[in-house]
Amino acid sequence: MEMKKFVLVMAIASLLVIGAFAADYTLTPSLSVSGSYSFGFVVGNQGFDLTNSFSNLSVSAAWSSNFGTFTQPATWTFDFSLFNWGATPNVSISKVAYESAIQQLTFEPAYDRTFNPMIWDNGSAAGITYVYKPMKALTLQYLDTTNNGASTSPSTPLFVTPFFKDEVAANYAGTGYSVSAAAYYDATNTSLYGYGYFVGLNYTGIPDLTVDAAFGSDLLRTAAPAASEIGTWLPVTAATAPVQQIGVDVNYAKDFALTKMGTVSVSAEYKYFKDFTPKYEEFVDTDGDGNADSPNYPVNKNNAYGKVSYNNTFGIVTVNPWVWGNYDVAAASPTAGFGIKSSVALAAGPLTITPSVDYEASVLPSYSVTTSTANVEAKTSVGNVSLDANVAWSDFITSIASPTWNVKADYTLGKTTLEGYVSSVTSGPTYGGYYAKVTYAANMWTYTGFYGTLSQDSNGNYTVVNASPYWYVEASASVSF
């Protein structure tokens, strides 16, 4: 929030400066607005509601000037979302930028820091980027990685959040390589603080080969990577000895096309990590529990991995076998395995049936089946009617009698679509689910009627089975500008 306020203050202060020198300052302004607005209503067995929302709403103001050295157009961009029904209005500024013939200065409250993935690769920091165009390969950044808790009010307690948590960084991008450096300071209060540095290399000068490496010293850090579960790397409660960190990740991947004989793919990777806990590990929450996933890179690892696969289609049969091997250097422990995916495309008039299997197993240190899935999909389309059926086995070795299945039918006539869907249980009560839906699209409006027991999961798929059927009628419209 402090960063958002700071951006707004910068914009207002700039306009005040312009006003103060108005006699010597000529503006050629332009303004553009873009976005979309959707609205409508829903009525169902649970009641009635109005819906409306803005999306991708952006206001961009640009001007050119003749004041001092500011002789080229400067662009101010404000991205914000307006209130949903009954909610509090919210303004979120995304960028303030100035660009002239020789320099570029940009402020953003959420940077995509992509200098070197081993040092950072998330976008959780506000900061300023500076590029001197005659040396455009060099980029400088200042990143304010957290709200410092500063306030003009004496009643505001300090050090509730980290006192300082800031960073300066530089990146030089050459042909086939880039070199990055970062130094940071992290203080919870005046007596508990830490600092450190990282230097990183990204090399892509050889085709199909990528090398990422980083070296640094984090003088005060969390004791274990589990600290990323709260999405931050705050100092520990007592001073620790300097910890030198090393990370090396070498990747090779190449496809070899064989004339009329398919494709052979080769990949290999070597990882060496020592006490590697970078300050700005990526915060990714794929399961939606509010906690970060495991860190992108291991704390300690010395490991080599290789895989060779083959892919080809022989008539109606497609095969994709592979073998892989892994060697843990530190533990002197080899592992290996193999897998095969295969499918057959059968066609009879408008009907296509595609059975497929996926079998994977490890052979070292012992034989163990890791994947044994099977799937049969049938599709047909006749006139305005289309049918799609699917039967799947999560383990065809031990659960051949317990498949999951679904059938979907669609009928389209002009602007009207009728859709029916029946599925076996996926989640919810222990019986299958169904729904019937009709959709009519007329210009900007879309009308939908729904009845059934299935509802959408977090990915928008109808996999959740409800104990009782429900219904709704919806009218929605969207306007882009």
- Mean pLDDT for the stretch of residues 258-268: 94
CB neighbour class for 143 (10 Å; exposed up to 12, middle 13-18, buried from 19): buried
- The pLDDT of residue 204: 94
- The pLDDT of residue 228: 37
- Give percent of the chain above pLDDT 70: 63
- The pLDDT of residue 99: 73
- The pLDDT of residue 317: 96
Question: Kindly report the CA angle at 260 between 259 and 263, in degrees rounded to 5?
Answer: 70
- Between strands 404-413 and 262-274, the pairing is unpaired
| Model confidence band, residue 150 (pLDDT cutoffs 50, 70, 90) | very low
* Greater model confidence, 169 or 89: 169
DSSP 14-73: HHHHHHHTGGG---EEEEEEEEEEEEEEEEETTEEEEEEEEEEEEEEEEEE--BTTB-S-
Q: How far apart are CA 342 and CA 262, in angstroms?
A: 14
Q: Which of 57, 65, 127, 125 is nearest to 99 (CA)?
A: 65
| Model confidence band, residue 471 (pLDDT cutoffs 50, 70, 90) | very high
* Greater model confidence, 120 or 213: 213
- Mean pLDDT for the stretch of residues 410-423: 94
**Cβ atoms of 411 and 440 closer than 8 Å:** no
- The pLDDT of residue 272: 95
375 Cβ contact partners less than 8 Å away, ≥ 6 residues apart: 355, 356, 357, 390, 391, 392, 393
- The pLDDT of residue 428: 65
- Mean pLDDT for the stretch of residues 372-395: 94
**Cβ atoms of 292 and 318 closer than 8 Å:** no
Asked if the model's pLDDT at residue 70 lies above 50, the reply is: no
Question: What pLDDT digit, counting tens, does each position of 232-244 carry?
Answer: 333 334 445 566 7
- Give percent of the chain above pLDDT 90: 35
* Greater model confidence, 224 or 362: 362
Q: How far apart are CA 16 and CA 23, in angstroms?
A: 13
Q: What is the overall mean pLDDT for the chain?
A: 75
- The pLDDT of residue 241: 58
Q: Which of 55-59, 127-131, 165-169 has the lowest mean pLDDT?
A: 55-59
- The pLDDT of residue 65: 52
Asked if the model's pLDDT at residue 305 lies above 80, the reply is: yes
For the entire predicted model, the pTM comes to: 0.72
- The pLDDT of residue 156: 37
**Cβ atoms of 443 and 415 closer than 8 Å:** no
Calculate the CA 16 to chain-centre distance: 39
- The pLDDT of residue 245: 81
Question: What pLDDT digit, counting tens, does each position of 21-38 carry?
Answer: 444 445 556 666 677 777
Question: What pLDDT digit, counting tens, does each position of 88-133 carry?
Answer: 555 556 667 777 777 787 776 655 555 676 765 444 556 788 888 8
Percent helix, strand, coil in the chain (nearest 5)? 5, 60, 35
Instruction: Return phi, psi of residue 397, to 5°.
Output: -85, -45
| Model confidence band, residue 5 (pLDDT cutoffs 50, 70, 90) | very low
- Count how many residues are written for the chain: 481
Q: Which of 86, 275, 309, 291 is nearest to 196 (CA)?
A: 275
DSSP at 231? T
* Greater model confidence, 229 or 379: 379
CB neighbour class for 116 (10 Å; exposed up to 12, middle 13-18, buried from 19): buried
Q: Which of 116, 110, 147 is nearest to 216 (CA)?
A: 116
For tokens 């030198």, what's the residue?
A: 244
452 Cβ contact partners less than 8 Å away, ≥ 6 residues apart: 421, 433, 434, 435, 436, 437, 469, 470
* Greater model confidence, 437 or 135: 437
Asked if the model's pLDDT at residue 275 lies above 50, the reply is: yes
* Greater model confidence, 219 or 211: 211
- Mean pLDDT for the stretch of residues 2-12: 47
- The pLDDT of residue 72: 47
Q: Which of 33-37, 254-258, 353-357, 431-435 has the lowest mean pLDDT?
A: 33-37
- The pLDDT of residue 285: 52
CB neighbour class for 427 (10 Å; exposed up to 12, middle 13-18, buried from 19): exposed
Highest mean pLDDT among 12-21, 91-100, 254-263: 254-263
- The pLDDT of residue 133: 85
* Greater model confidence, 71 or 299: 299
| Model confidence band, residue 294 (pLDDT cutoffs 50, 70, 90) | low
- Mean pLDDT for the stretch of residues 205-227: 70
- The pLDDT of residue 195: 64
* Greater model confidence, 412 or 154: 412
